Amino acid sequence: MSNILIIKHGSLGDIAQASGAIQDISENHKNDKIYLLTTKAYFEVFKKNPFIHEVILDKRLPRYNLIYLYFLMKELKKFKFSKVFDLQNSSRTNFYKNILFPKAKKEIWSSSITTLPEVINKKEFDKHSVLDRFNHQLQASGVKTSCTLNPDFSWACSEISKIKKNFKLDKFILLFPFCSQHLDIKKWPYYNNLIKLISDKFGNEYKIITAPGPTEINIAKEINAEPLLDNGKALSISQLTSLIKESSFVVANDTGPAHIAAHVGAKGLTLFGKHTTAYKVSIERENFKAIEVTDLNNLSAEKVFERLSKSLN
């Protein structure tokens, strides 16, 4: 038995996307022990993943914190990993490679750099979709892939019957009007208009709710939908995943919850401006689709409602 390391630091959407790759790695190493290195935000949820044996915490302190770096590298070395799958593919994880396995090629350290096709440069390769890049990386590293292109994040779900009972949830539409403060370009401004259209059409048939993250609770007050909290706190990733999976429909900006919705089979829409494309982030699935426009300010609530209404009918 060998020890295999997977690195996936985040973000939330990336965690959902990587689920298929993690499953393929595990199923190709059935006789080995699978470890995963991640950050505090995703440490607990990864403990639920059935394809991982142990989770290792990386506090991701600044690289100039030499004491922390020394002890992290010392801990990783003690496992004597026979292979590392770098699914983060960041400058930080490449820095780790240069410390742990400075001369390693794809047979030992699998990353987008070590498996880069000879006929293309990194800049061009990064224009491919996220899941296509994962698929190429794993196949080039000798992993047979059957799940990478179709990730299933349902493993992250937890029991939420008490929460649903407290909020009297039966049929509900879930909205995610949030985005990171530095990524306002992703924010669609007409959620309240959409809520009115839904209420006018469906009356009380669907409850309209939001599920704000820890930094979004105050922002949620600007939306005419009930914010779903657990004893005044934001839902955990596992609770959020279950809520999304059990929803009637999801409308979201291009954020982590949208990617969760895509990869748990939820029905819904995500709204894209010019910041990127649905293809590049691999978000469209059988039930979950995208509306892409040049400027989100010019995407009317009526157009979003038309797509929502057709799907619900």
Domain 162-312 sits in CATH at 3.40.50.2000
Confidence (pLDDT) at 123: 86
- Please state the rounded mean pLDDT for residues 83-98: 97
Average pLDDT over residues 85-103: 96
Same fold, 3-150 and 162-312: yes
pLDDT band at 106 (very low <50, low <70, confident <90, very high): very high
State how far Cα 164 lies from the chain centre. Answer: 23
Whole-angstrom CA distances from 37 to 7, 73, 103, 186, 195 are: 5, 12, 21, 29, 41
Q: Using one digit for the tens of pLDDT, what is the confidence trace for 107-161?
A: 999 999 999 998 888 888 988 999 999 999 999 999 999 999 999 999 999 999 9
Mean pLDDT of the region 284-313: 96
Predicted confidence at residue 154, as pLDDT, reads 98
- Render the burial of 105-128: b for 16+ CB within 10 Å, e for the rest: ebebbbbbbbbbeeeeeeeebeeb
289 CA to centre of own chain: 16
Q: What is the pLDDT of residue 134?
A: 97
Q: How confident is the model at residue 313 (pLDDT cuts 50, 70, 90)?
A: confident
Half-sphere exposure of 275 (CA within 13 A, CB side): 17
Are the C-beta atoms of residues 202 and 212 closer than 8 Å to each other? no
Under CATH, which number does the domain 3-150 receive?
Answer: 3.40.50.2000
Residue percentage of the chain with pLDDT more than 70: 100
pLDDT of 25 > 80? The answer is yes
Bridge-based pairing state of the strands 54-57 and 249-253: unpaired
Kindly state the tokens that stand for 269: 């829409």
Is 270 within 8 Å of 290 (Cβ atoms)? yes
Minimum mean pLDDT range among 12-21, 25-34, 57-66, 115-124:
115-124
Average pLDDT estimate for 65-89: 97
Task: Give 180-237 pLDDT, tens digit per residue.
Answer: 777 778 999 999 999 999 999 999 999 999 999 999 999 999 999 999 999 999 999 9
Q: Over pLDDT 90: what percentage of the chain?
A: 93
pLDDT of residue 185: 84
Residue 36: pLDDT band with limits 50, 70, 90:
very high
Q: Is 232 left (phi over 0), alpha (psi -120 to 50) or beta?
A: left
Pair 225, 247: CB distance under 8 Å: no
Domain extents for the chain? Answer: 3-150, 162-312
What is the structure's pLDDT at 119? 85
Q: Are 18 and 49 in contact (CB under 8 A)?
A: no
* pLDDT single digits (tens) 256-285: 999 999 999 999 999 999 989 999 999 999
Mean pLDDT of 243-254: 98
